[in-house]
Amino acid sequence: MKNNTVKDIKSPADFNREYLKSGNVSMCKTLETYPVSENNFCIVGTLEEIKGAQKRIQFEVARKKFFTIVLVTAGLIKEKIGFNGYEFGQNTLYFVPENQLHTIEHWSRDVKGFHCIFDVDYFLLCLKNQVKVNDFAFFQPDGNISLKLSEAEVVIFTVLFRKIKYEYCSRRNKSDDLMVRLYLNIFLLEAERLHVKHSEIARSDVPRRELLVANFRKLVSKSYKEKRQVSDYAALLYVSPHYLNDTVKEFIGSAASDFIHDSLISEAKSLLVQTELSVAQVARELNYSDQSYFCRFFKSKVGISAKKYREEHSTMR
């Protein structure tokens, strides 16, 4: 009997508990001196490792609060991502956005390849104008989430996966994360270049409600500094705020207002990590006239102050 509830998978520990026989399985066979945190992570494992440790063949629907990248080099994977079913065969690279409904339906016995999970914080680098992870086309709700690769392209991504895994498992302190973050960024930029080359988005095949959410997300990405009310976007999309809020929540698991707030927080984090702007200047950059209000907003969403967040990431400068 199927469970009607959607389980939230928020961290690597949650992933292990939900999918693997032993909750403390590690994708790093050695070098356990630097523990995996509940956030700020990037973990690569082989599909063979994960398949061998899976609790069962099929799993219930879950909503992962992080990004997933999978390279299938052999075998077949069947999954439901969002409201669409997919089959991924040999030499396929596919992507699962954060907060997306995701169901593992079948991994064949001979499946081989790589599996990577990472969160937004780990993606951040101290670089001006770094592309935002949600802006990559393959992480868009109406985008083409998979790429069919040539043998040469498979080699490129295999090498990058192995480098990410090696560097992550070899870390001794926070400064060692820089190499992993750089390789992760290179990986996504390579994938974006191939996505532009290989695929065209077939927007006519996207269901109306899913297209509404996609358009909402794109509008927010352009206007979140000026427009912070759900009603602003509802007016632009010619729907009621209530309908927009319900539809967004159905697809991404959080209210439209939360998505707007998350966009503001994501930009605030980027400015704190990637620039030398003071907290007051960051507040002004995000159109907050009252710095204290911005600081309360940031702490309520992140759990620590903006100043503390910058300090925690200062080792990456």
- Residue 279 main-chain phi, psi, to 5 deg: -60, -40
Mean pLDDT of the residues in the chain? 84
**End-to-end C-alpha distance for the chain, whole angstroms:** 51
Of the pLDDT bands very low, low, confident and very high (cuts 50, 70, 90), residue 186 is: very high
Of the pLDDT bands very low, low, confident and very high (cuts 50, 70, 90), residue 195 is: confident
- Is the pLDDT score of 202 beyond 60? no
CA atoms within 13 A on the CB side of 209: 12
pLDDT computed for residue 273 by the predictor = 78
- Is the pLDDT score of 141 beyond 70? no
DSSP 164: H
The rounded distance, in Å, linking the Cα atoms of 149 and 180 is 23
The pTM assigned to this predicted structure is: 0.70
Angle formed by the axes of helices 241-252 and 208-223, nearest 10°: 100
Closest-CA residue to 98 (of 51, 45, 136, 128): 136
Better-predicted residue by pLDDT, 2 or 268:
268
Q: What domains, with CATH codes, occur in the chain?
A: 7-198 (2.60.120.280), 207-316 (1.10.10.60)
Strand partners, 113: 72
Q: How does pLDDT run across 9-25, given as a tens digit for each residue?
A: 988 888 988 888 875 66
Tokens 């925690």: give the residue.
312
- Is the pLDDT score of 2 beyond 60? no
Q: Which of 61-65, 69-73, 133-137, 224-228 has the highest mean pLDDT?
A: 69-73
Q: How does pLDDT run across 34-91, given as a tens digit for each residue?
A: 455 667 889 999 999 999 888 887 788 888 889 999 999 999 999 988 767 899 999 9
Closest-CA residue to 12 (of 51, 34, 40, 32): 40
Of the pLDDT bands very low, low, confident and very high (cuts 50, 70, 90), residue 29 is: low
- pLDDT over 90 percentage in the chain: 44
The whole-number average pLDDT for the span 289-296 is: 93
Residue 178 CA from chain centroid, whole number: 18
Question: What's the sign of the alpha-carbon dihedral 13, 14, 19, 23?
Answer: positive
Mapped to the 3 state alphabet, what secondary structure does 138-163 carry?
HHCCCCCCEEECCHHHHHHHHHHHHH
Angstrom distances, CA of residue 136 to CA of 141, 259, 286:
11, 17, 22
- Residue 224 main-chain phi, psi, to 5 deg: -65, -25
- Is the pLDDT score of 199 beyond 60? no
